[in-house]
């Protein structure tokens, strides 16, 4: 039986990962860059609102940010990014 998704491979904190590592979570992949003045932060804020609306099911949604500007978006800059990625407790 074919998979319902392509199993992309990527690196998180220098470690290889795949979408299968999501363990059954819904994964939203967002392509952008940290210097984006409007669309990227707005989209990330909308993802935060969606997570908040999910209430106790928020942990079933994972978002992955993929930079389209790797020359400026170094791993250090991406780690320091202040966009919300989880629901506050």
State if pTM tops 0.85: no
13-34 pLDDT per residue, tens? 778 888 888 888 888 888 889 8
Q: What angle do CA 5, 23, 13 make, to 5 degrees?
A: 95
39-48 pLDDT per residue, tens? 888 888 888 8
Whole-angstrom distance, CA of residue 41 vs CA of residue 56: 24
- Do the bridges between strand 15-18 and strand 9-12 make them parallel or antiparallel, or are there none, so unpaired? antiparallel
What are the beta bridge partners of residue 31? 66
Whole-angstrom distance, CA of residue 84 vs CA of residue 82: 6
Length of the chain: 89
């Amino acid at each position: 039986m074919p998979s319902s998704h392509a199993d992309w491979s990527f690196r998180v904190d220098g470690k290889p990962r795949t979408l299968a590592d999501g363990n059954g979570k819904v994964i939203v992949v967002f392509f952008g860059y940290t210097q984006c003045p409007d669309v990227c932060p707005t989209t990330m804020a909308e993802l935060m609102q969606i997570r908040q609306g999910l209430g106790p099911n928020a942990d079933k949604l994972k978002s992955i940010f993929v930079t389209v500007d790797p020359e400026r978006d170094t791993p250090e800059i991406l780690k320091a990014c202040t966009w919300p990625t989880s629901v506050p407790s």
